[in-house]
Amino acid sequence: MKYLLPFIYIIFVSAMFSCVPQTQNAETHNTQNGIDPYLWLEEVEGEKALKWAWEQSDATMKLIEADPRFEQFTSEALAIYEATDRILSGTIRGDYIYNFWRDETNIRGLWRRSPTQAYLENQPQWDVLIDFDKLSAEEGENWVYKGATGLPPTYDRFLIELSRGGKDAVVVREFDVRTKSFVQDGFNTEEAKQTVSWIDENTVFLSTDFGTGTMTESGYPSTIRIWKRGEDFNNKESIASVPPDYVAIWGWTQFNHDKNYSLISRSVDFWTHDILLVNDAFEAKKLNIPTDADFQGIWQDRIFILLRSNWDDIAKGSLVAVDLDGTHKSAVLTPGSKSAILAINFTSTHVLITVQGDVVDHVLRVSPHLDGWKLEKLALPENGTLTIKSAGSLHPDFFYTHEDLITPTTLGYLADATSEAVVLQQLPARFKSDDLELTQKFAISKDGTRVPYFLVAPKGMELDGNNPTLLYGYGGFEVSEKSEYWGKMGKLWMEKGGVFALANIRGGGEYGPAWHQAALKTNRHKSYEDFFAVSEDLIDRGITSPPKLGIMGGSGGGLLVGVAFTMRPDLYHAVVSQVPLLDMLRYHKLLAGASWMGEYGDPDDPLEGAYLKAHSPYHLLSPDVNYPKPLFVTSTKDDRVHPAHARKMTARMIEQGHPVMYWENIEGGHAAGSNLKQYAFRSGIEFTYLHQMLMD
């Protein structure tokens, strides 16, 4: 499931941030009832705060563990997570396919590789490069693998990201695959939210916490340096920087066959960025593209961007190709009103565009043609979600997956974008779906907007309003909620008689930038109204009723369901709010919160602050309202969305006499789990709660 807030650019998520103090800005502030008495819960590892968190978690676990379904659900979830017949997805790197694998024996996982041909013949010959369980035991650490960035074209060297307990902050170490060992005195860093990225074999970009004055107010690096092998990066000058009120700065190199391009992003806020091109003398020059455009890459000496606003006569939502000097631009594709460009991938021979129409995907291959562009539809499976995997500008081949909510994932391979697709693997069914039906419905929001949602329900279901139904939503950061095969949801909910609905509300990217921008800042209520409209549509159709309707969401979706049950407690009976934002007057002072003001607004701005207070779950709570009993799930090690959001919300509900359940995992970061057993344990908690609330 998606419940992670996107980073500024998804492809750099695991390496771009730096650690911030655990206790932040503990001044008092006004709540609906005066001075906030729960600021002490913002001390992440404060003795009093941890004692409170464990007491609340223990109380919840007593209720959950007394239910025999908890052990069953945890076991069923773990069987899915640890199944050895999972798809062996891989990443093409030179002559090998690289894979990260976890199972019941390898709890923290193996990073390994196989020769490409053996992998394509479904007979992979895995060579283990790093055993993270062994490494953790040797070093006395709970290492969580966060990613590996190889150096083309040989990929003999990698930059490995290791997280303590699943935090966003990582340790970076250089690794030599030939010797299967970390490089002593290589490109190795201490723990931070940071990026280290290759320029060449002996040079990297480094943006990290260099000391006082080198971090933004959002807690990310504000300076970037060139680090050459053998040099002390502390003695290097920054080649670019951002002021403290910007979000971050980081760099990367796009490796192509003919020419490599080193680039820097200066992020003004979540949605606006200056993209700089770095020359051989490490001088950076800003590219002549709109600052709010979504930079995709450089291919055949053209810059490719997705527009978030109109650019001269080219409409927002379009994919645009721009000459490097900015003198000429052309629209490659402008989607219609019911479609959007979901993703762009480059191969050595083509550009691949994944387009979604009413949240159903197809893929176009693009190549230069005369004075324009030739677009052709790839012959890939239809009526579901398509994802291009492991495409890169150094090779022509790539993988793809196809799936929907009740159809197991298929992994396919194309030798190039003009060849015929070959199916390599199909995931075995994780739950019984023969009696289930997947449909797409549309609800009408308060302002008349048509809002789609997917529905999975038993065939021939009685429309008597008595069907236990779980509605999932997100609605933020231009993220589309797709019809994907959620084995855990299917096994623990749908197979057991539960109806599942997936909302495609505004704030997401289902219909492009306009769909997202319609719910930005002081228009965020449009997202909530869409969610209420889907909820009411489920009730009006006789699918369910308020006593049988539950909602679930994580991170920004945790905020969504927090708003939903505090503003419309009449609609719901169960609420699962995972790693949520809930105090919207202080979110910008907690961990990475300041980076999201471009999405939610500035609490210190009089207009935006008043709006946020009126829609902040923590401030909406009233002792005079009957709320459904929610379950809040968070993690002590979440260094992205502060656990104080869930802690303070729970404490205020207890103070006001409302029923509430709370569970905090000591590790796991923003995923609220650092290994497969922890994921399964959390699933057992959540679905036991849902069955208790909606099926009993």
Buried b (16+ CB within 10 A) or exposed e, 56-81: bbeebeeebeebebbeebbebbbebb
Do residues 52 and 40 lie in contact, with contact meaning Cβ atoms separated by under 8 Å? Answer: no
pLDDT at 257: 85
Measure CA 256 to chain center: 27
pLDDT tens across 454-492, in order?
A: 999 999 999 999 999 999 999 999 999 999 999 999 999
Mean pLDDT across the stretch 545-558?
Answer: 97
Flag whether pLDDT at 9 surpasses 80.
no
Flag whether pLDDT at 16 surpasses 90.
no
Flag whether pLDDT at 248 surpasses 80.
yes
pLDDT classification of 673: cutoffs 50, 70, 90: low
pLDDT tens across 560-615, in order?
A: 999 999 999 999 999 999 999 999 999 999 989 999 999 999 999 999 999 999 99
Which residues are tagged catalytic?
555, 670
pLDDT at 7: 32
Element spanning 379, H or E: none
Flag whether pLDDT at 76 surpasses 90.
yes
pLDDT tens across 487-538, in order?
A: 999 999 999 999 999 999 999 999 999 999 999 999 999 999 999 999 999 9
pLDDT classification of 670: cutoffs 50, 70, 90: low
Do residues 691 and 570 lie in contact, with contact meaning Cβ atoms separated by under 8 Å? Answer: no
Judged by average pLDDT, the poorest of 6-10, 39-43, 264-268, 601-605 is: 6-10
* Alpha-carbon span 503 to 507, nearest angstrom: 11
Do residues 132 and 111 lie in contact, with contact meaning Cβ atoms separated by under 8 Å? Answer: yes
pLDDT at 165: 86
pLDDT tens across 431-456, in order?
A: 999 999 999 999 999 999 999 999 99
Task: Please state, as a whole number, how many other Cβ atoms lie within 10 Å of the Cβ of residue 673.
Answer: 21
Q: Which of 548, 572, 570, 545 is nearest to 631 (CA)?
A: 572
Average pLDDT, the chain: 92
pLDDT classification of 326: cutoffs 50, 70, 90: confident
Show the tokens assigned to 516: 């997202």
Q: Which of 413, 388, 389, 393 is nearest to 347 (CA)?
A: 393
Residue of higher predicted confidence among 371 and 668:
371
Q: CATH top-level class for 41-79+430-694?
A: alpha beta
pLDDT at 19: 29
Report the chain's C-alpha Rg in angstroms.
24
Mean pLDDT across the stretch 620-628?
Answer: 98
Residue of higher predicted confidence among 666 and 260:
260
Q: What is the DSSP letter of 594?
A: G
Q: Which of 633, 662, 471, 669 is nearest to 554 (CA)?
A: 633
Residue type, 534: V
pLDDT tens across 156-174, in order?
A: 999 999 999 888 899 999 9
pLDDT at 519: 98
pLDDT at 369: 83
Q: How far apart are the first and last CA of the chain?
A: 25
Element spanning 591, H or E: none
pLDDT at 15: 30
The label of the residue with tokens 């908690």 reads 685
pLDDT at 638: 83
* Alpha-carbon span 143 to 139, nearest angstrom: 9
Judged by average pLDDT, the poorest of 25-29, 203-207, 323-327, 623-627 is: 25-29
Show the tokens assigned to 307: 């527009």
pLDDT tens across 52-64, in order?
A: 999 999 999 999 9
**Which residues, in sequence order, are CB contacts of 160 under 8 Å at separation 6+?**
111, 130, 145, 147, 148, 172, 173, 174, 175, 182
**Which residues, in sequence order, are CB contacts of 678 under 8 Å at separation 6+?**
665, 667, 668, 672
User: Is residue 413 helix, strand or coil?
Assistant: strand
pLDDT at 669: 58
Q: Where are the beta strands (DSSP E) in 75-142?
A: 91-93, 96-101, 110-115, 127-131
**Which residues, in sequence order, are CB contacts of 594 under 8 Å at separation 6+?**
216, 217, 218, 219, 247, 588
Q: Which of 691, 689, 686, 696 is nearest to 1 (CA)?
A: 686
Judged by average pLDDT, the poorest of 308-322, 411-425, 667-681 is: 667-681
The proportion of the chain whose per-residue pLDDT surpasses 70, expressed as a percent, equals 94
Domain boundaries, the chain: 41-79+430-694, 203-286, 335-429
Do residues 260 and 198 lie in contact, with contact meaning Cβ atoms separated by under 8 Å? Answer: no
User: Is residue 403 helix, strand or coil?
Assistant: strand
pLDDT at 4: 32
Flag whether pLDDT at 25 surpasses 60.
no
Show the tokens assigned to 73: 């659900």
